[in-house]
Each structure stands twice: as C-alpha cells, then as structure tokens.
Chains A and B, each alone.
Chain A
Amino acid sequence: GENVEQHPSTLSVQEGDSAVIKCTYSDSASNYFPWYKQELGKGPQLIIDIRSNVGEKKDQRIAVTLNKTAKHFSLHITETQPEDSAVYFCAAVSYNQGGKLIFGQGTELSVKP
C-alpha cells in the first residue's frame, strides 16, 4: 500500500526565516496531496493541498510543490511567525486504494522569536 515518508522530524527556525518540509510517497497512482497543521490538543487542520495535475500552488506565505516523476512534494513557509509553531503532516491519497488518506510521520516546527 501507500507509504509516505516525511523529513525532517523536527525543525527550528528564527522568526522571519523560511521553513521547508519534504515528503516522498510510494504509490505512483496517488493524485492528491494535502498538508495539515496540528496544534497541541487539537485535531489536524488542512492548510494547503495540491493535485497531481499541478506542479506548484501558493497561498500567501505557504506554498507546495509536487514532482510526480520523483514522487516527492514539499511545503514551503516563508516569513515564519511564532504562531506557525506546530506539527505539520503531509498526506497522500490514492484512488487505487479506495481514496484513503495516508499520513507522513510529522514535522515539529518551532519558530523562535
């Protein structure tokens, strides 16, 4: 089945710097790649997503890139702020596997003021 690997597991940046989180997936039939942010004591919340027919998508300070050939996708956060501190998860959906949502292991981002 689908396997999603995420790196790094922890990331610490200074406020205003950029942060990049990378993921790889195994199922070439995966066609939807969402990113979730999880704050302490809460459930994950979607922050951005990308479909397989698009190479890049941007929403204000957040952008996601997708390389289907290499089967990897990345989250880029620019001008980081302390409120960006949280755990971020990438995920993949493959219609070959009933459209189920499979998550990576998570990246704990810490933005230091």
Chain B
Amino acid sequence: EAGVAQSPRYKIIEKRQSVAFWCNPISGHATLYWYQQILGQGPKLLIQFQNNGVVDDSQLPKDRFSAERLKGVDSTLKIQPAKLEDSAVYLCASQPWGGDTEAFFGQGTRLTVV
C-alpha cells in the first residue's frame, strides 16, 4: 500500500512570497490533516478534512493560510504572504475515517522563510 505522498520535500522562499504544498493521501482515506511542526515542538493541527468538507480549521491563520481538498482526495495548503515565523515542517496525514484509527503521515515539507 502506497503511503502519504507530499511535495516538495524542501522549499526556501523570501518573506512576503507565496508557497503551496501538495498532499496525496492513502487511497480511500476519508480524513486528511495538515499539521505545522516548528523545530523542537509537537505537530500543531492547522486543518482537518472529512472527504472534501472542513471539520476543523480553528487553528488555521486564515488571513494568510488557505487549504482545499477538491474531490475529497488530494489536498493543497497555501501560504500567502509568508512570514519568517512560518518556517516549519508541514506534515500531511490521513486516516481511513478519523477518530480512533491510525493516522499515517507523509515525510513533510520543510519550509524556510528568509
């Protein structure tokens, strides 16, 4: 079974530029998460999708971050404009149906904002 795919693996941008990350979850998984992981900290939930609907985006800085999951499969996370404090690893995870099932993580995208 193929795992969660994320791209790119690394990205360096200047502040105020925009950037987009892509995630392809495990086939058939209904739940998809985006997490932000700052160095030395635990993953912080940004947004949770169930199929193509948003379950929770209370921690997403909506003035600069946006995310979509068209057709309930692939997802993109965008930052526009980026700030220095956005430097982090962005992790995507998927679950068969959420709740008490195993979440599978991608390798993440390491973003550096200079």
- A contact set with B: CB distance below 8 Å: 1, 4, 6, 31-32, 34, 36, 41-46, 49, 51, 89, 93, 95, 97-106
Contacts and interface: CB of A to CB of B under 8 A. Distances in A.
A28 B40 CA distance: 27
Given A43-B108, A98-B56, A51 B100 contact: yes
A106 to B, nearest CB: 5
Which secondary structure characterizes the binding site on chain A?
Answer: strand
B101 to A, nearest CB: 8
Contacts of A49: 100, 102
A104 B93 CA distance: 16
Interface residues of B, number: 27
Interface of B: 4, 31, 33, 35, 40-45, 48, 55-56, 58, 91, 93, 95, 98-100, 102-108
Contact of B43 (A32, A51, A95, A103): A103
B99 A95 contact: yes
